[in-house]
Structure 1
Amino acid sequence: MTILVAGATGKTGLLLVQELLDQGHKPTALVRESSDTSALPQGVDLRRGDLTNLHDGVCDGMDAVIFAAGSGGSTGPEMTDKVDRDGARRLTDLARDAGVTRFVMLSSVGADQTDPTGELAHYLKAKHATDEHLMASGLTYAIVRPVALSNDARGADVILGENVDKSAKASRADVAHVLAEAATTGRFDGIAQDMQSA
């Protein structure tokens, strides 16, 4: 499969594109002009595009799209809105217009709430709006909502759905594996679910 990955140069994204390559798929990294692509593995194609200002056609020729990007923990609410909400929704629309088969969203635990509170409230509102937009888009979708991320190695298993402990951790390696599986197998089509490492 040809798979566009937004956020491919991030910690989770790098693991994801390697996972896709290992499975025999053809990942394409959506990168800004200023992105450092030196850590991307050989075999990953590049497609230029900025999530704050995506151009038409960015999803053309893709079988699936995975949104694994984020504005980053050091940015403010404005950039969260531009990337995590507006950029993700624009990418969803472009994927639909391009006839993409499946869209996989890396979301967050708590994004199912319509009115979250606490220090992550703005971020979770942006993620909620994005998830809702994807679910209403008409695209075949899967939404993965991991708990707090860690840099641990991939574990023996993951826990998905209602049995997730929201205070637990999810390794980025496990998240990357689930995202790849969601994009390539259809196992999680039409599902939005929490996730943790077992």
Structure 2
Amino acid sequence: MRILVAGATGNTGARLVHKLTDAGHVPVAMARESSDTSVLPAGCELRMADLTDLKDDVVRDVDAVVFAAGSGGDTGKDMTDKVDRDGAIALIDAAAKAGIGRFVMLSSVGADDPSQGSDGIRHYLEAKHDADAHLKKSDMPYVIVRPISLSNDDGKGFVTLADHVDRDGQVTRDDVAAVLSASVWQAGIEGKTFEMAQGHTSVVEAIAELAA
């Protein structure tokens, strides 16, 4: 499969691109002109685009889209809106218009009810909530992954995927990338929204259980 990855040079997105490559897929790394593309595999296909000014043809010639982008913790509310909400919505609309086969959204625990979030994260959760809601209303098959707090530790390979998980602790970005990768191709999970934490079930088994 040819899979467009938004946020491909980010902490999670770069890990995802490597996992897709290792799995035999062809990731198309969406990146801004200023992005550090050295984190991507050699020979990785690049597609220069900016989520704050997206063109519909960004999704040309791909089978699926993964949104793994984020404005980052150091930006203000305006950039959170432009990237995490408006940029995601623009990409969803472009993908729906093109008839893309699946859209996988990296969201966040708490996006189901942003009002319960702390002051520091509530605006971000509101942006993710709006993007998730827009995706659910689209005509595309979708998967929404909502992990707990992320760490840069080595992946453990074992996760918990459920409607609701224990929100204490952290889950590794590497394992999140593995779940995003599997969510692109696993049959039977279209329309699923699930939370993610570290756990005791392998990623492949956990994804397959969602389809059962």
What is the TM-score when the length of structure 1 is the normalising length?
0.96
Secondary structure in 1 matching 2:34: coil
1:176 alignment partner in structure 2:
177
Q: Percent identity?
A: 54
Structure 1, unaligned runs of 5 or more: none
2:40 alignment partner in structure 1:
40
Map residues 1-198 of structure 1 onto 2, 5 A cutoff: 1-113=1-113, 115-118=115-118, 119-162=120-163, 164-198=165-199
Quote how far apart the aligned CAs of 1:161 are.
1.2
Secondary structure in 2 matching 1:33: coil
Task: Output the CA distance in 2 between the equivalents of 1:186 and 1:107.
Answer: 20
Listed one character per residue, the Cα deviations across residues 81-104 of structure 1 (whole Å, up to 9, x for unaligned) are 000000000000001111110000
Quote how far apart the aligned CAs of 1:162 are.
3.6
> Relative to 1, partners in 2 of residues 1:42 and 1:156: Cα closer, same or farther, differing over 3 Å?
same
Contact 1:84-1:126 at 8 Å conserved across structures: yes
Quote how far apart the aligned CAs of 1:153 are.
1.6
CA RMSD of aligned residues (A): 1.2
Contact 2:163-2:193 at 8 Å conserved across structures: no
Of the structure 1 ranges 158-167 and 3-12, higher mean CA displacement relative to structure 2 is found in 158-167
What letter corresponds to residue 31 of structure 1 in structure 2?
Answer: A
Quote how far apart the aligned CAs of 1:64 are.
0.3
- Structure with greater proportional helix content: 2
Quote how far apart the aligned CAs of 1:163 are.
5.0
Task: Output the CA distance in 1 between the equivalents of 2:174 and 2:181.
Answer: 11
What letter corresponds to residue 166 of structure 2 in structure 1?
Answer: D
Contact 1:13-1:176 at 8 Å conserved across structures: yes
Quote how far apart the aligned CAs of 1:115 are.
3.1
Task: Output the CA distance in 2 between the equivalents of 1:36 and 1:173.
Answer: 19
Contact 1:61-1:98 at 8 Å conserved across structures: no
> Relative to 1, partners in 2 of residues 1:163 and 1:83: Cα closer, same or farther, differing over 3 Å?
closer
Secondary structure in 2 matching 1:115: helix
Task: Output the CA distance in 1 between the equivalents of 2:189 and 2:153.
Answer: 24
Quote how far apart the aligned CAs of 1:195 are.
0.2
> Relative to 1, partners in 2 of residues 1:67 and 1:34: Cα closer, same or farther, differing over 3 Å?
same
What is the TM-score when the length of structure 2 is the normalising length?
0.90
Contact 2:110-2:117 at 8 Å conserved across structures: no
- Which aligned segments of 4 or more residues in structure 1 are displaced greater than 6 angstroms? none
What letter corresponds to residue 133 of structure 1 in structure 2?
Answer: H
Count of equivalent residues:
198
Task: Output the CA distance in 1 between the equivalents of 2:164 and 2:191.
Answer: 19
What letter corresponds to residue 71 of structure 1 in structure 2?
Answer: S
